[in-house]
Structures are given as structure tokens and as C-alpha cells.
Structure 1
Amino acid sequence: MLMAVGRSAPRYQLMGVVYPKSQRLRTSMLEYFITVVQLCHHVIKLSRKTAFGQWASTMTTPLKGYQSDLELWAAAIKEEVNLLMVQQLSLEAEDNSWFRSQVTKRFESQSYARRLKARQRVLDACSTYYYEQDWKRIRKLGTTSILETSAVYANWKAQQSPQGLQSRTLVCTGKLGSGKSVILANMVDDLNLEVERKAVVAYFFCQHDSTQSLAPKTVIGSLARQLLQSENDLDVARDFLGDKRSLEVDEILSLLKHLLPTQFEAVFILDGLMHCDAEARQVILTSLQEIQNLIKLSLCVSVRPEPADSLQELRQLSNQQFLPIEDNKSDIDDFINAELERCLESGKLVVNDPALVLEIRDSLSQGAQGMFLWAALQMEALCLERTDADMREAIASLPRDLSALYTMILKRSRLSDVTYQSKILDLVAIACRPLTTEEMREALSVVPWETTWDPARRLNDIHATLGCCGSLLTVDEESSSIRVVHHSVKTFIFDHTGLRDSHQTLAEIILTYLNYDVFSRQLSTVKVPKISSSSVTAAVVNSTVPARRQSQSFALKLLRLKKSKDTDVGYSLLQYLQASRASDTVPWALYQYAVAWWQEHIWCLDLDLPNIHKLLINLLEAHDYDKPDFNGWTPLSHASQRGCLALVNWLLARGARHTVDVSGYSPLSWAINGRHLAVIDTLLKSEAVDPSVVDRSGETPLMSVIIMRDLEVLNCFCDRGARIDWNQTGSNGYTPLMTATLINFVEAILVLLKRLGPHILTQSPDGDTALHLAARKGYAEAFNFILVQAMVKQTFSKPLLVTNRNGETPLWLAAAHGHLEIVRSIFQYQDFDLDVPDTGGETPFWVAASNGHTEIVRYLANSGRVNVNHLNKAGLSALWAAVFNGHEDVVQAMIIMKTLDPNHSESGAGTPLEAAIRLGNERLVRLLVGNARTEVDQQIQHGKTPLQLAAEEGYEEIVAILVSTRRIIYNQRSHQGVTPLWSAADCGHSGVVRVLANTEGVDLNFPRMYGSTALWAAASNGHVEVVQILISTGQVDLNRKSQSGTTPLWAAADNGHIEVVNVLASTDGVDVDCPNDRGITPLWRAASNGYYHIVQALVDTGRVAINNVDANGTTPLWAAAENGHDDVVKFLIDVAVELNCTDIVSHPHAKQTPLWIASCNGHTEVVEMLVACAGVELDRRNEEGYTPLGIAAKRGHESVVAILASIRGVKLSQVDSNRQSALELARQYGHEDVVNVLEARRPRISVGLTPELV
């Protein structure tokens, strides 16, 4: 029992420790251990008894009771522990659930915060410019009624045009001062107030006095930010953005392409674009065009119509509409009335004569000419007048242009404070952003070069001082920034003061200001006093704190404090005193601007002056000497560009970085451009300067020196040759030696050749070496220097055989470009092949001949080392190339070469003679055929001979030249089976025909493959002169038929050539009525085609049978009626032709009279003429039993049916072989109009009766 207790008791004790708060467990455990103690007491008592006593005790022992109690309490402990475990698990589950929910909420909150942060980062990467501020300021200036009345604006802002949803552009044009900016600011309001508009409305107003607002990155970035603000999910942009904090324009466009759908709609209002420089405008417009192609962007941009090219720049924008601001007199009148009321009510304008106000109003209204600015400034100027007489005098002499108005305002305002006027104007005009009144106050208090701050120089009333500039300056109510009233004022200031002088004024102020000794950091020497708060009284506070309103307020608050624990307030009072006096002891107002923009101004100063240099050094020590300005220029870039050696040395000693600026140039590049030799030398010595950096144009500094042809600067590089890579290539793949060769800078070539070693013939991406470039350009001296060094240093085993990507050697290039001197230089070397072809198979000799370089052709040929008969890959010879390009001198030089084959070419390729003929070059043909070796009868393409080709092309002189050789076969046929004479006649070349017709041996009747003669061909094509020439020879067969059985006259009639018909018909021996194989005569054919004059001419000969029928039994009248030629029908009727076809021929047409076929085809006019003739058979049937009326009714020819039905003698009820009348046929085929015509004559119709009974 004790052993069991010994095993269980420690576990139970641990359970009590685990669950110390359970009262029941504690009670059970105590009972358990009490029982254990009682058991132990019993055992001890038993052990003290005698053996007999112990034996007697066993008879009455309570051990079983102890065992029962121990088991009871042990079970209770276990049950309680099990219960506690279950409860703990339940609580833990609840706690875990709560914990997980809290963690989930926290995680979701953090995830949402991260998404917001990432979204903000994307938007900030586009732009952080505060674009709303400019719109708010301009919007306050006024309203307009143009937007309410303009149909152009209404059409532009419509959410969908008639052509569908598409990008479009509204160009708002107006003269200077016409209120374009105000109109566009109101436009933003108008678009935002449209409730149903789904498109995002974005805007940007470029400010002439804010450098940042004129940058393309700012404009396009602000647009992108406004477009992306409407997009909820910008997570995709995180990977795109990477570690970048700011995006360039092209990156912003790529971001928009990733994030915006193609159906995204937006409106963008852009004002002040003309304030940007030309390069910035082009970038902005190109970017806007890309965005218009990407999404549905409705763009509105304002411009002045002058200069004219301002509108030309906008041509790339989509679907332009123009909103001219011309007739805005009502708006100006409203503006003048409102301003006059404001001035009168405020007391700014005081008049004695009330009528004077109307005079002012009328004068301003008439003189404004659409310019709000002019009216506003004139009104301000009139308010300065003191009497009515002065006002009337001023009205009488109002300045008519803005420049004169500005001059007048400044002249009148100068009287108030002439000391500060020019200085204020300079500062306002040149500042990179508008200065605030406090900034201007401190700037005007600065005395150049005095670096000790004197608070006494600070202006007491800056607003009164600004009055010396009159109404040309305005102060913004919100930001207190000072601006010129219009950007034209800035131009006016520069015209009268000069841009450099304005820059220098502000530069001197900033440089002096930033060198104030009060800005240097110092340890405080003031001991903090120990002051008991309980001993502070009003008198003490008043004697300690300055007597100002804020100080008095602070003292009173101290006095009114309730009694509290005594504390030391000395430190708090000292802090307050320092803060309250800070504005007096340190001039902080201008500090922010000066630190942000000092680099934009101070570099216009003369940095070599000792006092300026010292101050600049102090400034750079106090601020970042590597800080780039707005254009990315560091102080080292500026100093190098200005050639300030002392400053460059100082910067390099401090570890200034040699970086490339935004324009793509390094400090070394700027020093080279300025030819600052000492600075260049210093930079090249510095380990911090990389002399191999490539600039924006892809050139290394060394290349820039070479392009400038500056030997002195090049020598600087030579002095530091150990750090220079003399063989470094630029972005075009050219080395410095290649660059020097291209511009023929021989001195530089000599310098480079000494330092290049074995790399003289480095090849460009196109495979060109310096030798290739010199050979192409013809720089003989440079070529010789390079070649000699290449031979000496054995860069290649054979430098002259090095080919570029096109397979061209230096010799090839020299020959191609006609550089004989270089060719001669190359010929000094005997151990290489002169016939190395390029990739097109053209050798130097071949290309020299092709390009017309006669002397080189002779020189190469006389060397005996070239193949003058070489063929290129197209199988063409050098002689062919010279002929094709019309180089007569080259041909003349080559044709006498003994080794020349003038006919050499591959099969299918053209011969030189063919090329000369195709070009029509008689002189070249004469040169070629003058060589006895030239084959003048060699068949070329399609089996044509040179004579046939010349005849076909109509070259009369060339034909005569070829015929005169007497080395050709005159009647030889080509593969098409035509002779030279036939080709000339077919093409109508009368001169060639005359030459050939008069040449002995030419067969004038020699037929082509299909049997037609030259006369037939000429007649068929209407060549009258050729026909006359052939007839005049008396040797042609006038009636020779072709394979189809047609004579020349028949062919002429068939094609409507009346002049040829007249010539042939009037010629004795011509058969004018000769039919073809189908029995068709010329008259029949002409009648069928409707050639009235030919029909008339043939009939007038009296040698034609006007009623002859063809193989189908039809007459000329029938043919004319079939095709509706009413004039021919009338003529034939007039000459008494047979009206009814009566010949019995085994053909369906034989039973079709002219009236029947005309009715069948619906030729109304022909039917009218025929039914009017006596003897016409009105009811003649065809084989199917259709009468003219029946067939017309079947075909639905209403007008023909009406004519026939109205003729007495036409049997309306006659039926066909199917026993259907005309009315029934019309009904069967659905011709209701014909049915109506026939039913109108129904009383005459007896349906169902046979013709005999009607």
C-alpha cells in the first residue's frame, strides 16, 4: 500500500501545481495526503508493539479502511483533473479562435495597408506635382459663356460620336490674352459636373514660371496619375515598377499599356503647351498620340494661331476639331462691367462725374479686341488716376498693344519705388517657381557679397514694395506666391532687361544668402536658467518675454494656471524665447527655395572671380557637392563646362562623381566641347573619371575629340594614354581610327596608328575596317598610312583581301566609287587576287564598269590581271552593266578590248545589245553592232531577235541600224510566231513599218503563226497610218484571211475602226462583203456591234448585199435589232432591207424575225420602228410557237407589250404550242404590270379560242 502511495503521490502533487486554481482538486489532494499521514501514524504505532500485540492487531486492523479512503480520493483527484483538462481544452479552443480572428484582422489590415502603400508608390512614381493648385488659381479668374453656346464643344464632349467611341482632339485657338486658360479651367468644371459622364476627367495647366511644370515627364506623369487613380487594382504595377521611385516618359507609357484596358475612356484638358520648348512639346504630343491610340482619350489643347507652325505640330493628334475664340465680345463686356462695379464698390475707382464710368466702359470695350488681359490692365491703370480729367486724358490715349501698356504701367508705378522695381521683375521672371511674399522679402534684403545677415535690411511692408510693379504682378491668396499677370510680361521683361542679367541678379542673391554665417551650425552658449513656477509672476513674465500679442497671451495663460506642484519652467521658457526670436535671428523664408534651386542659377556667374569662388566653395561644402540640378547636371558638370579649373580640382579632391546628365553628356564631354585643355587634363588624371563613358550620341570622349578635329585636345589624351582605350567602339561600332578616317583627319590617324598596335584593322558590325572606309571615301593619304601600318604589323595575312559583310574588299570599294589613286596604291602589291567578288558576284572591274568609272576600267583591263568577261550571280557581264546604266564611254573603252566577248551572258540573262535596245540608246546600239563579234540576230527572251525587240518597242533608228548590218534574218518568227514587221504593225509603229516595208527581203504578207498578216494586225488595231503605208507598197494581199477567215476589212469593222474601214473600202481590190467562216460579213458584224458609221460606209460603197444572211440565217437588220441598236435599225430600214427573215435554214434563229428578237430582248425603240413599217409580220411565230407579243409577255417587257397590244392586227389571244396566250404567260411568270396592260384590252380577248376563230 505504501509503495502504491509512493508511486502516485508525486503525480498528484504535480497535478496540483498544474491546476492551482481548482478548489475541488486542492480539497481532494489534501484528503488524500491526510489519509497517507494517518496510515503512516498507524504503521508507526504498530511497529512499537510487541510481537503478540502486532499479531493481535492484525485481527482488528483498520488497514482496509485506509486503502478504501486512498482509492476514493485518488479517483476524485483523477476525475477532477480530467474535468479540468476538458475545460482547459475548451478555453484554449476559444482563445485560439479569438487569437486567430485577431491575427486575421491584423493581417488583413496590414495587407490592405500594404496595398494602399504600393498603390500610392505607383501613383507617386508617375508624378508628385500638385497640379490642382494651378487649376484652382486660374478658375478663380472668371467664367465664360462660350461653352454653353459652342456646338463644336458640345460635339466634342459628347460621350459617343456618330462614328462610335473613338479618340478625338479639340484645339482651342485664340490670340494673346483672349482668355484661353480661363475657358479651359471652366471646361474642367463643366465636364466634372456632368453626372452621367463615365470618363475620367484629367487636366494639366503648364505654368510659364514653373520649370517643373514644363517638363514632359511632369505633364505625362500627371495625366497618368489621374488616369490610374480611377483603377482599383494596381498590384500588377509592382513588378513593373521594381525599385524605381520615379518613371521616365516612355516607362509611364508602358505602365499605362499594362494597366488600362483599350475601352478605357478619359478626357484630358491641357493648357499652356506653347510655354514648353520645341523638344518638350514634341515629346508631349507624341506621348498623347500614343495614349489616344491606346485608349479612348478626348483631348483638348489650347494654342495661339500664330506662329503658323504651332498648329502644324498638332497634326499627329486624332480627329481634330477647332474651337476659335474670336467673337467673345459679350464675355468681355460682362467682364468689364463686373470689374467696374467691383472697383467702384471697393473705392478703388473714384469718379466725380458718373457718366465717366460709361465712357470708360465703352472705351475699354472697343479697344479690347478680344483680349481680357488688355481690358483688365487698362482698368487697373485708370484706377491710379486722381482726377476725372486725368482719366479722360488716359482714355483718349490708351495703348493699343500689350508691350506699350506694360511700359506705361511700369513708368507710372516706378514713381512709388524705383529702387526695387527692376530687381523684383528680374526675380519674378527668372525664378524656377513663383516666389512667395516672404521669400521675396528676404531676397530683396540680401546685399550681394555681404554674408553677414542684417535684420535691419528686411523690408517692413513687402506688399507696398510690390506696388512699384503696378498691376503686372499678382499675389495668390492661398499660397502667397508672386506671379506676373500674364506670361507675355515675362517676355517683355527679358526684352528690356536681358535673360543673362536677370539670371545674374538672382544668382548673386542666392550665393550670398546661402553663405550667411547664421546658417552655420553652432553649440548654444546660453545656460538654461532654473526658474520655480510658483515664483513666476506677471511682472517677471512681462520682463522676460517680448511684449507681443503672442507673448502676452502666453504670459496670461501662465498666470491663470491653477496652483500645482512647484516645477522648474526655465527650460520651457528658453525654448519658447528661442522660437519666438528665430524669425528675427535667422532668415529662413528663402532657405527652402535657395537650397532646392541654387544649381539652376549660380552657374551664370563668373566662377573664376576670387570672391565668387570662395562663396561657391563654402556653399558646396555646406550642401551636396554631387547634387544634380533639374537637368541632371552636377557641380562637376557645370564646372567642366565653364572651364573652372580650381573648382574642378576642389570637386575631384572631395570625391565628386563623374556621372552622365539627363542630356547624356559627362563632365569630360562638356570640357571637351568647351576646349578647356587644363580641365580635360585634370579630369583624365583623376581615377574617378571614366574616359571611356559613351555619351548620348553614342560617342566616347575620344571620338568627340576626333569629330571636332581638335589636335590639341587629342594630345591631352595622348599624355594620359595609359587610361585610354584607343580601340573602344561607339554605339555605331566604329573605333576612333574609323571615326578619324571617315572625316579624313590625317593627323589624328597618325596619332592613333602609333598607339593601336595589332588592332589597326578592327572590323565594324558591317565588317568594314578603316581601310574600307578610306577606300569608300577616296582618302588616298589616309588609306596609304593605314595600309602601310597594317602591312608592317601584319594585322591580317593579307589586309587587302579582308571583306566586309557584303563581301567587298578595299579594292572593290575604291573601284565602285571611282577612286583611281587608291586603286593604283593597291596595285603596288602583286600577291593578291584582283577579281574577288562581293556577295552579288560582282568583281571590282564589274562594279567599276557598272558605275561608269572609265579610267579605272581601262587601268584594270590593261593590268591583264582581271577577267573582263566575268559574270555576276545573275549571269550578266560588266559590258551589260555599263550598257544598262548608259555609260557610253565605258562601252566604247570595253568594246575594243581584244579579250572581250560582247555576247557573253548566261542562258536567260540579257545580252548587252538587248539592254541597249530596251533602253532605246541608239549610240550604244551603234557601238555594239559595230563590233563584228556582236551577234545581231541572236535570239533572246521568248525567242525574240534584237530586230524584233526594236520593232516591238518602236525604235525606228535602231531598226534602221540593225537592218543596215545585213547580218539578220528579216522574217524570223519569235516563240509567239510573229515577225518584226508584224510586231511593228500590231503596235502601230509606222516609222518602223516604213523602214521594214522598204527593206529588200522583208515579206509583207508573211503571216504570223495564226495566219494573220501585218496588214490584218494594223487594221484590227485601227492603225490607219500603218495600213496606208502597207497598201502604198502595192505588195500586200488586201483580202488575205486569218485562220478564222476574216480579212483586214472585216477585222477593222469588227473593232469599230471607221477610218481604217474607209481606207480599205476605198481601195481597189478590197472585198467589202467577204464573209468569215460562219458566213458573217463585215456589214453584219458592224450592225451587230452598233457601229452606225461603219454600216453607213459599207452600204455607201454599193458593193455589199444588205440582206445576206449568216450561217444561222440572220440578216444585218436582225443582228442590229437583237442588240437594240436603233440608229442602225433605222438606217437599214431606210435603205429598204428585208424586214422579215424568209430564208429557210435549219436553225432556230431562222424563224425569228427582227421584230420577234427585238420584242424578246425588250428593245422598245426598235420595236416601235419595226411595227411602223409596212409589211412587217406582227404575229410571226418561232419554233416554240411564241409570237412577238407572247415572248415579250413571257419575258415581262411591259413597254413592248403595250406597243404590240395597241397595234391593230396583233392577235392578242393567239396561243403558243402549249396553248397559252400572252395574258396567261404573263400571269404564269408573275409579271403583274404586263397582266395589267393586257387586261386593259380584255374586251378584245377571247380566252381559249383558237387563232382561226378570233
Structure 2
Amino acid sequence: MEAVGGAAAILQLIDVALKTTIQVYKIYADFRDAKDTHKRLAREMRDLVRVLQQLLDVVLDSDPDKPKSGHAEALREMLEGEDSIVACCQKDVIEVSNLLGEIPSASWPIRKRKIDRILSNIASTRAQLGLAVQTQSMAVVLDIRRTLDRHESYMRQHVESESNKAIFGWLNPPDVWESLKNALQKRQPGTGEWLTKTPEFEYWKRNPGSLWLSGMPGAGKTIMSSTIVTFMLSEAQTSASAVVYSYFDFSNESQQEAQSFLRTCIAQLAAKNPAAYDILVGLRNRCSEAQGQQPRLEELLAATLAALGCFSQAFVVVDALDECSEHGKLLNIVKELQSVRNLHLVLLSRPEQEIEKALSSSAKELPLRGAEVDQDIAAYIQERIHRSGEMQEWTGEDREKVEAQLTEMAGGMFRWVQCQLDSLEKCIDSNQVDETLASLPPDLPSTYERILVNLDVKSAARVRDVMVALAFARRPLQVGEVMDIVSISITDYPRAKKSGNTVYLNQLLSLCSSMVSISTSGSGEKKKQEMRLAHASVKDYLVSKQLRSGPASAFYTTPSQGHLLMAAKSIACLLNQNDVSDFGPHTLEEVPFLLYSALNWVHHARDANLETNRGSLDDLIFALFHRDGDAYINWHRVTGRHGPATPVEGYAWDIHIRDGSKLIDGGRPCPKERLLNGHQIDRPLHHALQWNLWRVVQRLLDAGHDPNGYSKGNRAPLHYGVLQRALESMDLILHRGGNVDIGDWIGDTPAMFCAYKAKDPVTMEWLMDHGASLFPVSRRSGNLLQCAAMEGDPDVLEVILRKKPLNVSPDIGVDHNYNEIADLATPLQCAAYAGNLACIELLLKYGANVNLAKGKVGTALHAAGASGNLEAFQLLLERGADPNVVNGQYGSVLWAAAYGGDRECVRICLQRGLSIDELRTIRLFPEKKWLDLFDDERDKLMSDIIRNAGDRYCRDIFDAARSGMTSRVKAYLDGAEDRKAELEKKHEIHMRTPLSWAAAGGHIETVKYLAMEGANLNVWGRGLETPLEFGCLAGRLDMVKCLLALGARAEFRQAGKYRTAVVCAEMSGNKELVEFLKALEEDRTVTFEFEGQTYEHDGDKGYKRKQ
């Protein structure tokens, strides 16, 4: 069948139907008694035209490379010949037109019967044509599904491959595939396809730029985004093009942050392009050098921009900007993305003022409203009625009435239509259908109000708990967790407990009709049912002024009240676990809500701080902290010894319990009192400070808790308070005798803790205003100025410089070995060594002496050179640093730069003619100057200088092991009076041996040499970490295999230890390493390869080479 012939037949019928529609409106005034028939006629002609237009779209789509290819051929019988369905339908419409034209009006009743009969024929034909279109649309959907499946399979295969698991596990992007699939499940075939044919979209597709689709709540923006994504995935299938999609989600905190969008982008880009993957690897490596930290937003953005440059064209679709909790950060990211020349960006959101202001001049706005959206909604209504089991037994007249009225009242709101259909499906007779249609609520808030008002009092309380929990949970809740929440009572204080009343899921869902939905995520063993609010507008309604002042006001909540309810339910769940002898992994299966409670109650409690109507929350927290040692211990057995501040998933239960009854510490029975009071787990006051639960802090202090008491890690409550800017709680501590300058086990004060860990200028200002001193000295950090300069937050450093006494110099410092890495004596030396350019500028602005020579290192320029920080080196030279100063352990700046190993720093020194006399001692080119050397001679000279500096200035065996200088390690051992003592020597702070330093640094050859010399492979550091665990913390799989091959003990979860091998691997983010260790732990017959050899388990001896 020729497409043109089929199109002609359809166009003829469309023309006749449109003329008939016009005729209906012309005669309506003359036939007042024909009102109902007129309406039916107009509606039938309109629906017929809509179906024909969809059919025409299928027929005209003859591109063999597109999903609809060949579908027109399947419609041959419907379109060809005098007896075809289209031809017969055209005859029916012409007959109706003729009947309408007959005169006089007195014959109308007779004509009406004929018209009704013909309309029934037309309706049947329309249904057949609609089914044909739907069949073709489903074929398109299946084609799209195949495209998506191929895309998802490729992405998951890449992300989950053995070689890439570690990098993508560390990045931890949100699972956007699940979000896309959920959107597609709700999408009616054909919905939104009109958009891809608009001039605006066609222009966007061909030309880089930004398109903003704006729509009110419930307008179907997420469905539209899925249409765009699937369309672009089928269009842009070359390796030079990338299609990236991201969804913000009001029901999942991890998908509300601006960072989550960047993680999603770079993950998808890296999975498709090797160059983009290398950019991600580079980002991971830089963060690994900073001891496994996660990247900052600026670093993620820079990596994403670089990865986008790896493609000739990139199409990025971002849904629900308004559901991001960080609008300012996100809009700044969008602004940066819009500067990328090859980027086609689609943004979808509500037309909120902040978003509109940011995008008005940089993106083409396309509002989601108008005839095309109305047609999509009409198609959705027809399909929903057609497949509704409840409506199948309805009369055709009732179905038509519902379709007509909802189509007329929809106003572009998919969500409103969905809710009304949910309600109408419950009607049991025609009268109820009429009553429901006569009282349809005008908008979404009124719809939700009607649902809630109709609940009985007892059911209303449970439904409120469910909806508030779903609205403020930090992630989507599983069905079992919701059932636990509903059944937990918080009114039975002091022992809040789970009621024995069974809650039935289906009945609960029917009560929450249209406001709650269940979806399935994951697959296989990871498959789970999640319950969430059906739409973001439901959460908006729960906190709205309209609900607060309306008849359903009992359901109104504020964010702080919502978090208070979640905190109270969570703590009640923990208090129910009040028996240490009957608690273990089985408990998590029996109480689904327990894991969520343990990890998240403190977050909810902190977010409820502003709520004045506290209920029993503070009593419950106090009961957990002060009165119930068993529940408090069990809480830590879920989250780890430090609680949810640094939770470790899969934490070893046998650290505290074995055989279900005995508390264990180092393999010995451990009394509860020792766990609670002997620094084995963090103390309650420290937790209360960390999360700023100031009301509970006061009660704990009143109950006798020590404001200066030390907890696990030997830190005081104030150290914990600075982590979360807990100023109210910190005030209470100081007023009850707390010491603002109290030092931890190494001498770090709360202010130092703030400088290098919290990096919060507001908290630092509070500490300075409350008497924090510059003069306490830490063995790790030096004084406060040195600590702040080294860690590099300029805002924190400026607070200290601004608040310090006027008579205190910015050069005040003590000569110390910073973190057992470098000898530094002034704040400027610290900033220069760390390469913190902003801090260097600040210190110079406040009067620091750029050429002050002090301590072992010399000047700040020596420090920059010794650490190999080229940018800091160049900045100091620009600010007047004298490169001719000879001072400190290196003497000249040249030798400091050579020890740092940066060739450009060395080149700068040589170009300036520094220390040329000293160079002659190398005896490579004794008669030549730098300017006389050829390029290859210069390279050889610099290499020789750097090698000589390593030998000349390596301070000790620790320095040599940390840097992987095996020859220097050998030299230190050869020169030692007691070789064994030199091997087992430990640093004062970290208690690391040379072997531990080499393992942490990944220096395999150095580790092998030390092991050969008899170094203890299982020696413990300060945190009880062995060299194997240091290798795990660094995420180095090759190092772990090396140590196991050398004979390191393979007890991956040793009782009594905090950082076991598995836990350390989890902390590194290297999932490949975690799985490797778990495989060895679970099956001792598993072997592994290292340097071409196979190793197998050998009982208590660890692993041996397989014969």
C-alpha cells in the first residue's frame, strides 16, 4: 500500500467529519430539543478526527530507520477498497450530514433515531481504528523498549563490570534507569510525541542550546521527559553522541542534591566513552590521594564539563528542577553547562519564580499546555476507561459521560484526571456515577481534601502516619517498613512499643487512594516493593495553608512536625530492641524498619529541632541515651561504634556479640558496663552534641554526664558539636563547665577540629568569640593558625586572622612534624606545603613575612618546593619570595624543589642559576652552565638532581617507606644497630611501622622487600589497623593481594576490632575490593591470582602459593 493513497483516504474522512462538526454547531440554535444528540455528535466527530490524525501519523511515517517503519503496511485492509473500514465510516458520516440538513424541524425525532443508530456504527469504527493505532503504538513502544533495554544493558554491563565496579561504586550515582522505567510504565503510548515534531524541538535537536518545558503540578512533565529521552536514545545512537538523563525526586533525599545530578551525568558519559571514563578515573585518583574523600561539587562539575567535551554532540534531559533542594547550586550548574558548545539541554520544572528568572534569558521556554496536551489527556482517558476492569460492565452511556466531562474539565492536568478516574471506578451504579460527575472537585487540592475528609477517625490516624512518613522519609520506604511504622505506638511512653494489631496492606492502600503508590525496583535478590507518595503535589498539599484551614486540617503538617514523627517512630522501634541476648542479623528480617531507624533517626531528630510541640520525642531520646543500655548497645550494633555519623553497611555483628548471648571484646566476654563506659562505643552526650539535640543535652547534663568526658576516639563533646554547627548545645556545654580549648588524644582542640574537619566559618567565629586560643599545640597540627592554613579553607582562616589579638603575628607557629609527614614552622609554610593558594594570599594580606626562615624546612618557598606544589611555588615568587635564601635542612631552594620531585619547580630554579656550585657535585656536566645544555642534557641533569635529593634528604625509614624509596629503606636497615627494632619501629601518632606506610602508599616493591627482611605483616597501628587494612583503606586491591600472598593474616572480621579489612574496604568505596574480600571470607576454597601465581587458603597460616 502506498502511504500517499492511505493518507488520502484518511484525509477525505477527516474533511467530511470536520464539515459535519461545523454543521452540528450551525443547526444547534434551531433544534433546542436536540441538545443531547448535538453534544454526542460533536464529541464523536471530535474523537473520530483525533484518532484519524493519529492514524495519519502512522501511515506517513515511512522512514525505514525509525521505530514506526512498516506499520502502515499492516493497515492495508482498513484503508484500501470500497468496503474498507475507512470508506464505510465515510459513508456513515456523510449520511449523518445529510440527515442534519433535512428540513423541516418537525421531522427531528425520526432523524434522531437514525442518527443515533449511525453514531453507534461510527463509535464502533472509531474503536477499531483506535485499537489499530494503539497496536501500532504498542509496536513502537516495544521498539523503544528494545532500544532502552539495549541502552540499559550496555550501561549496566559497563558500570558493573569487574574492572569498573570500584570507580562507579565510589561515584555512587542515583539509579536513573529505575526512574525512567517508572515514568514509562505510567506513560500512555503516543503521549508527548507531538512535542518531537514542534519547530522548537526540531531546532533544539539540530542546534546546541537550552529548552525549558514548564508546567503546573500534575501537567505530566515527568512523562514528557521520558518521551524526550526515549526519542533521543533512538535518534542519537552513534558513539560520538551522548544522551544523558537525570531525575530529581521529592521522595528520595539522595536525588534532591545538586551533586546527584552531576554524579548521574558523569557516570553515563564515562560508561559510553573511554576518554570520559579516564576523566572519572582521574577524579577518583585525586580524591584517593586525599585519603579517599568524596569529590566536592566544583570538582564534579569540572569533570562533567570535561567529559561532555569528549563527544561531538551531547543531549542532556533534566526532569523536576523544582524538586532539587539546592536551587541556587543547581541553577549555577545549569549556567555552566549552557556554556558548553556542543550541549543540547532540556530542562523540565514548574514555573517557579527563581527558576524562571534564571532561565528566562538563557533557555527557550515551551509551556506544557494547549490543544496537544489536551489531546494526550483525552487519549489517556479513553485508554484508562477501556482497560478499567471496574468500568467494563458500565453502560456505554456512562462511559461516554465520564469521558466527555473529564476531557472538558481536565485543564491540562493529567494528575487531576487520574485522581477522578480512581474515584469514579468505585461507583457501584449509574446514579453514583452521575452524582460523582456532578460534584467533581475543581483542582488537585480539592481532590485530595475530598479523599481525606471521607475517612473515618480511626483510619484517618493511620493514613496520616503513612503519608507523613512517606513525605519526610530520607529515601523511598519498603512496604514492610511502612507496615512497621503504622503498627508502632509512641503514646505508650516510657516503653513505646509495637502493637499486636495486624495492618492489612491492600485495605490501607484503598484508604490512601490516589495519594500513595507502590512500585517495584531492582531485580532478582535485590527486587523490592517501595511505597511512596503518588505525586509531588501530595506532599505540597500536606504542608499547604489550604489544608491547614480546611476541613481536613487534621492531616496538616510542617516539615519539622513530619521529621518529629519519623524520629519518634524510629526511636520507638529501637527501644523495642532492649535485649542484648536476643539480637542479631535475624532481627533485621523480623523488624524491617529497624535498619532505617538506626541510620536515620538522628537526622530526623535534628530536623525537628525547630518544632515546639515536641510530644514525647525528647523523652524517647533520653530513654535511649540514659535509661536503656541494651537498646543503646543494640543501636550501635547496627550502625557501628560511632553510630550513624559514619555508618558502615554490613557492620560485623560479632564485634559485639557471638553465639547470640555473649558480648565480645577482643574475643573475651565483655560486660555491658564496659561497652557503655569504657570508650568502646560513643557516649550519649557526644551523639546529642553532634546532632545538636540541645534539649536532650540539657537533660543529660542534669543527669550527671560529664561536659568534658572523652568518648571513643578520646574526643570531648565539643569536638562532636563542631561537626554539625551545634551552637545551642555547645553553649550549654560551656555554661556547665566545658573547656573550649580541651584537646583530644593528640592535642587537637575543638577549634582545630573545626578547621580541618568541619571547615565551618560560622562555628569557628563562635569558638573564637567564646575564647578559643591560638596557642595550644597539637602533635598533629601545630597551632590553630597552622592547622587552618594547612587544611586550606580560606573562610575559616580569615575568621581566625580577623579575630586573633592584634599583637599576635600571623607568622606565629611552632616547628613540628605535621601529621608525621613534613616539618613545618609557620602558617605560611603550611599553606605553601599544602598548595593552598587562597590561604597563601590571605596570610600575606594580613602581614605574613614571605621570606621568613624558620624551623627545619626554611622559608615558605622551600616548603612549596619540598611538596612539589608548582602553583604555590610560582605564586610565592610572584609575591616577592627570595629564591636565593639558603636555610633549613635543604639549604637551597633548588634542593628543596628537587626533593619535592616537581620537574618544573627544579627547572625554574636552574633557569635562575641557583646553587650552580652545588650542582657540580653531581659531576654530570661540571664545565657547563644551564643555558649551555641541550634539552636532553637538561632532562638528564634534572633527573639526577631529583634522584640525589631523595637520597640526600630522606629523613628516616618512615619517609623512605611512605615514598616507596626501596633503596633508602635498605640503606636505613643496613645502617641500623638493631635491624629488627628498625623494622618494627612505630611513629608516635599513627603508630605505623614502615611496612604500614608502604602498604598505605601502594608501594608493592617496598612492601615485598620489608616482608623479605622479616617485617611483621600483622602489626597493629593506633586504630588496630594492620598493613592489610591500611591497603584496604586506600582501596588498593593489588596491595591486598600482595600482602595476602606474602602471608598476612586473613581474618577479615576479627572480633574486638573497629576497622576490619572488610569495613576498611567498604570505607574506601572500592566495591571490587569489598567483593574480593567477602568472597575469600565466605568460601575458603576461593583462590586468587597475583603476579602470575595462584594462591590458596592454608588454614591459620593464611594463603600459600598453589602447587
- In our comparison, the structure showing a higher alpha carbon Rg is 1
Please report the TM-score for the alignment, with normalisation by the length of structure 2: 0.45
Return the structure number with greater relative CO, CA threshold 8 A, min gap 6: 2
